[in-house]
Structure 1
Amino acid sequence: MDEYCDVLVVGSGGGALTGAYVAAREGLSVTVLEATDQFGGTTAYSGGGMWFPCNAVLRRAGDDDTIEVARAYFRSVVGERTPHELQDAFLDNGAPLIDYLETDSNLEFQVLPWPDYFGSEKHARPQGRHIVPKPCSAKRLGSLRDALRVPLDAERGEQPPPDKLAGGQALIGRLLTALSEQPGATLHREAPCTDLLVEGGAVVGASTTRGGKPVRIRARRGVLLAAGGFERNAELREQWGVPGDVAGTMGCPGNTGLALRAALAAGASTDLMDQAWWAPGLTHPDGTSTFSLLFSGGIFVDALGERFTNESWPYDRIGRDVLAGIDEGTLHTPFWMIYDDRTGAIPPVGSASVPLAEPGAYEAAGLWHSAGSLSELAGRIGVPADALERTVARFNRMAASGTDEDFHRGDEPYDRAFVEEGGSTLVPIERAPYHAAAFGLSDLGTKGGLRTDGSARVLDAADQPIPGLYAAGNSMAAVSGTTYPAGGNPIGASMVFSYLAARDMAGTGR
C-alpha cells in the first residue's frame, strides 16, 4: 500500500462530505477522493434542500409534525418498493443528524417552506419538511474557494462565481470549512477511484491515480462510495435502460459510474438501475435540455396535440408522465409547451437552471415558434391542427371556470406555491401570436445503485453485507424507490446514509 487511513470517502457532494466530516469528528483519519478538479458534485448546482422531518430547525420555527405522521406519508408514497428498514433508517436519523451538525458553528440551517410533492396524500405537509443551509460568505473557504464547483449559471453561462454562497453552494462551502478544521482529514482532487481492493471478501481500500501515477490506499475501517450516479455515461445508461441521454442530465461531469463499476467487481448488488430523478427540460440551441420548473403559464402537448399532464406538478411527476407518453407512443421528444403572447415570446419558465441564449438562436434552431393562429402553429410543430385547437379551447374553458377537470392543476399545495396570492395556475391561451417552445426529458442524476442495509453497508447478491464497503447518495439505490417524495429528499438521504456509514465505521452507530 502507498497510503493508509481509517476511512476512505469517494466523492465530494453533500453526502460524501457529511460522511467525511462525521468520521473525522469521531476521531478517525479520513481521505476524500474527488474524481474531478472541483469539490461539490451535483450538490453544488442544487438548492441545497434537505428533507428531515421533525428536526430542530423546523421545531424552532413552530413545526408540530410528528415522526409517525412523516413515516405514514413516506410509506404511502414509496410503498413497498424499498425495505422498511431502509426507509426507517432515513426517517429516524435526519433529525439526529441535524442535532449533531448544529453543535459545530460552521454548520447553520434555516427553514425554506417547500410543499411535499404528493400533496393529495393524507399526511403530506403543505409547508413541507424542508430546510436549507444559511447563506455564507465565499471568503470563509479561504484557499478552498477556487476548489468549490461553481453553480450552473457560472459553469454553463457567463456569470461570475458568487461572493455569497447560498443553497448547495453554501452546503458544500460550510461542510468543506467544517471538515478542514478536523485533524486527520485529507482531500484530493483529480483522484478517481479506479478499483476497490479486496482481501478475503472484505473491501480494504481502493486504487486511484494522482498526478498520473497509481496510488493504492488502505482503509482500516472502510470505504464509503458517495460519488454520484452514472448519468454522464452514455454506455451505462444504455446498458441499464435509463431513458433520456447525457445531453439532458444535470449531473456533474464526474458522474460516470467509476465507483459503481468498482463495487460491482467486488460483488455488490444493485437495484433501481433504470431510474433517475426526472424533470421536463427546456431544450437549448446547444442540444441540451435542462431541468426546468416554476411555470407561470402554458400547457404541454404530446405528438397528438393533446395535454398529457398537470404542468404545475413537481418536476419528477411531470417527467414520469413524459416517460409514460413515450412508452405509449403518444409522445416523443421534443414535446411542446404552448403559450400565448401575454408576456411575450419567451416561455413562461421561472427557471431553466442555466442562462438562456438569445431568442433568435432558439428560433433558428427550430426550438421556438410563433404564429398568428393555433392552426398555423400546429403546422410548424408537427401536431394535428384540429386537435391543438380543441385542446386549447378546452383548457381555456377550464381556466375560466377555475377547475382543471383533466389533470387537477392547482389542486395541490405545490401547484400553487409559486403563484402570486389570488392568482391561478390556469392561465388561458388566448392572445395572439401564439408560441411553442421545445422541451426534452431532463434528469437530476440516476438514482439506481448499490443495495444497502440500514447502516449503509453494501449488500451482495445473497443480501449479506460486504465487509468494509458502504454507499450513499446516488451511488446507492434510492431509499425512495421509484418516487420523489419531497424536495430535499436526494440530498437529505445522501447525508443521512453517509452519517450512518461513518458512525458504523467509528463504532458509534445505531
Structure 2
Amino acid sequence: MGSDTHDGVDGAPSGPLLIDVAAVLGWAATADVVVVGFGMAGACAAIEARAAGASVIIIERTSGCTGSTSAAAGHFYLGGGTAVQQACGFEDSAEEMARYLEAVALDPDHEKIQLYCDGSVAHFDWLETQGVPFDHSYYPLKNVVQPGRECLIWTGNEQVWPYRDQAKPAPRGHKVAFDGEEGGGALALRILSERAEAAGAQIMADSKVEALVMEAGRIVGVRMKRFGETSYVRAEQGVILAAGGFGQNPEMVAKHVPALASAYIQGSPYDDGLAINLGVAAGGVAIHMDEPFMTSPFYPPQDLLKGILVNAQGQRFVAEDSYHSRSGIFSTRQPDGIVYLIVDAAIFAYPHFASLTNQSLIDGFETIADMETGLNLPAGALQATMTAYNAAAANGEDPTFHKYPKWIKPLTEGPYAAFDLSFGRAVYTGFTLGGLKVSADGAVLTSAGDAVPGLYAAGACASNIAQDSNGYASGTCLGEASFFGRRAGRHAASTHA
C-alpha cells in the first residue's frame, strides 16, 4: 500500500495523512497505547489505559495543559443520583436522564446514551477519586455559569417544553469547585494530566502528529514532528485520537459550518481538524459536521427570561427560557439574523454579558406601537404578538411556546426597551460539534459501521452525546470527553494486534 493523501473533508493539512509501515525506517519509541492530544479525553484515556496495565505515550502539540478544556468553566453534565444531587435534595435516575438525552438528541445513539447515564454516578465518583474537587452545593439562579464555587446548576433544557414532559427534570450541571466564571476546566485538566503522568504515562510535548501508520489494514503508529525533526512512534495495541475539533480550520468551517465564520470561535488554536482528517484518511467517517454550538446569552439576570424574543416580522420563534445555545441557534436562523429582546420597565436590566456580546440597548419606547415603528417592524405585527402574549400571560400561560410558568408575566409596564441580539451585530460565540463516528468504546468506524483496527477517537474530534446546539447542555463536552475517553483507553489497552 502506498501513501494515502485522500483528505476526506476539505481543509486537511497538505501531505499524506496515512502511510504504509514500509515507509518507516525505524521507531523512535514504542508503547501499547499512543494517545494523540493531552486534553480532557486524552488524559482520561491515558489514566484508564495505565490502570489496565498498558504502557502509554501521550503526544501533545503544546507544552501541556491547554486545549479547549482549559478555556471551559468546568461543568460536567452528570446525573442519575450523584452525591451532589443527593446532598442538594434532587431526585434523579439513569432512566430519566436517558429519556431526557434521547429527547433532545438530534440523532440519539441509544447505546451510548444508556451507557453514559448508567455509568454517570460512578463516573462522578471516579472524578472525585482522581482529585477533581466539587462542592456538594446548589446554585439556584438561572445563569450561564456560577460566579462562585457552587456545584449543581440547571445547564440544559430539562425544564423547557416539550422536554419537561418527556423526562422528569433534574439539574445535572456539576461545576468544578473554583471561584470565578472561568478556570474550572483548567483546574480539572491540570489535576487529571498530573494523575496520568503520575500513573506512568510518558509525555511527548511540543510534538505534532502528522500521519498515521498502517500495517496490513491496522493502525500501528504515528509519524510526528518535534522541533523540525520527524520520528515514528509505534502503538502495539491502539492509537487514540483526542486532539480537538476543527473550529480553527477556516476551510473546514467554511464548508461545514459557515455560520461560525461570523462568530467568535471558542477553543484551542490547535483545533484545526487534524484528528478528524487523520481518522477519515484511515477509513473512518465524520458525522454531524454541519452542526455548531452557537450562543449569545441574554441572561443573567434571570428576569430577562420573562421578556420575549422577536424576529424581523415581530414574531416570537423560541421559548425564551431555553438554554442559551438553543435560543442562540434559533436566533441565527431568523430572517436576516434579526432578533430583538423586548422587556418592560418591571424587568428592565442590562444583560450581564452585554459588554462582551455587544447586545446593545436600541432605545426605550413609551408604547409597543412606538417600538414597532422604531424597529421598522411590519405595521401591527409586534402589537399583535404582544397582545396575544399578555392575554395568555395574565393567566400564567404561554400556549405558543409553553414557557415555564416561573418565567411568564404580562409585559404591560411601560416604557418598553429593545435589545439588539441580531446575528451579525451582537457577538455570538460558537464551536464545532461534528467529529468521527465512533463506537461506544471509541473505535473509529467506517461508513459500513466496521471498526478501523487499532484506531480510536474521543473528545471533540469524535461524535458522541453532543450533536447540535438545540440539544446541548453545559457540561456535555467535558462529561462525554472524560467518560468516553476512559472507555477508549480501557478498550485500546485490552486489544492486541
1:507 equivalent in structure 2 = 494
Q: Is 1:257 matched up with 2:250?
A: no
CA distance in 2: counterparts of 1:263 and 1:217, whole angstroms: 17
Give the CA deviation at 1:58: 4.1
CA distance in 2: counterparts of 1:313 and 1:491, whole angstroms: 21
1:448 equivalent in structure 2 = 434
Written as runs of structure 1 = structure 2, the 5 A alignment for 1:76-155 is 76-78=103-105, 81-104=107-130, 106-111=131-136, 112-115=151-154, 117-119=157-159, 120-122=163-165, 124-135=167-178
Unaligned runs of 5+ in 2: 1-26, 137-150
> 2:303 corresponds to which letter in structure 1?
S
2:5 equivalent in structure 1 = none
> 1:463 corresponds to which letter in structure 2?
G
2:362 equivalent in structure 1 = 369
Give the CA deviation at 1:504: 0.9
Question: Secondary structure of 2:33's partner?
Answer: strand
> 1:193 corresponds to which letter in structure 2?
V
Number of residue pairs the alignment of both structures matches: 444
CA distance in 1: counterparts of 2:450 and 2:462, whole angstroms: 16
2:397 equivalent in structure 1 = 403
Do the aligned residues in 2 keep the contact of 1:114 with 1:127 (CA within 8 Å)? Answer: no
1:275 equivalent in structure 2 = 291
Give the CA deviation at 1:443: 5.3
Q: Is 1:356 matched up with 2:356?
A: yes
1:232-267 per-position Cα deviation (integer Å, ceiling 9, x unaligned): 323212322554425243233222211111111111
2:67 equivalent in structure 1 = 41
Unaligned runs of 5+ in 1: 137-150, 154-164, 283-291, 417-423
2:414 corresponds to which of 421, 431, 437: 431
Q: CA RMSD in A?
A: 3.4
Written as runs of structure 1 = structure 2, the 5 A alignment for 1:237-252 is 237-241=253-257, 243-245=259-261, 247-252=263-268
Give the CA deviation at 1:455: 0.9
Give the CA deviation at 1:503: 0.6
Q: Is 1:172 matched up with 2:211?
A: no
2:464 equivalent in structure 1 = 478
2:21 equivalent in structure 1 = none
1:507–1:383: structure 2 CA closer, same or farther, 3 Å change rule? same
> 2:459 corresponds to which letter in structure 1?
G
1:443–1:90: structure 2 CA closer, same or farther, 3 Å change rule? farther
Q: TM-score, normalised by structure 1?
A: 0.75
Do the aligned residues in 2 keep the contact of 1:378 with 1:388 (CA within 8 Å)? Answer: yes
Written as runs of structure 1 = structure 2, the 5 A alignment for 1:225-374 is 225-241=241-257, 243-245=259-261, 247-280=263-296, 295-297=302-304, 298-322=307-331, 325-326=333-334, 331-340=335-344, 347=350, 349-351=351-353, 356=356, 367-373=360-366, 374=368
- Between the two proteins, what is the percent identity of the paired residues? 26
Give the CA deviation at 1:313: 0.9
Give the CA deviation at 1:302: 0.8
Give the CA deviation at 1:216: 2.8
1:391 equivalent in structure 2 = 385
Question: Secondary structure of 2:238's partner?
Answer: strand
1:88–1:343: structure 2 CA closer, same or farther, 3 Å change rule? closer
CA distance in 2: counterparts of 1:213 and 1:375, whole angstroms: 69
> 1:109 corresponds to which letter in structure 2?
F
CA distance in 1: counterparts of 2:105 and 2:416, whole angstroms: 43
Give the CA deviation at 1:379: 5.2
1:207–1:296: structure 2 CA closer, same or farther, 3 Å change rule? farther
Question: Secondary structure of 1:277's partner?
Answer: strand
Do the aligned residues in 2 keep the contact of 1:85 with 1:453 (CA within 8 Å)? Answer: no
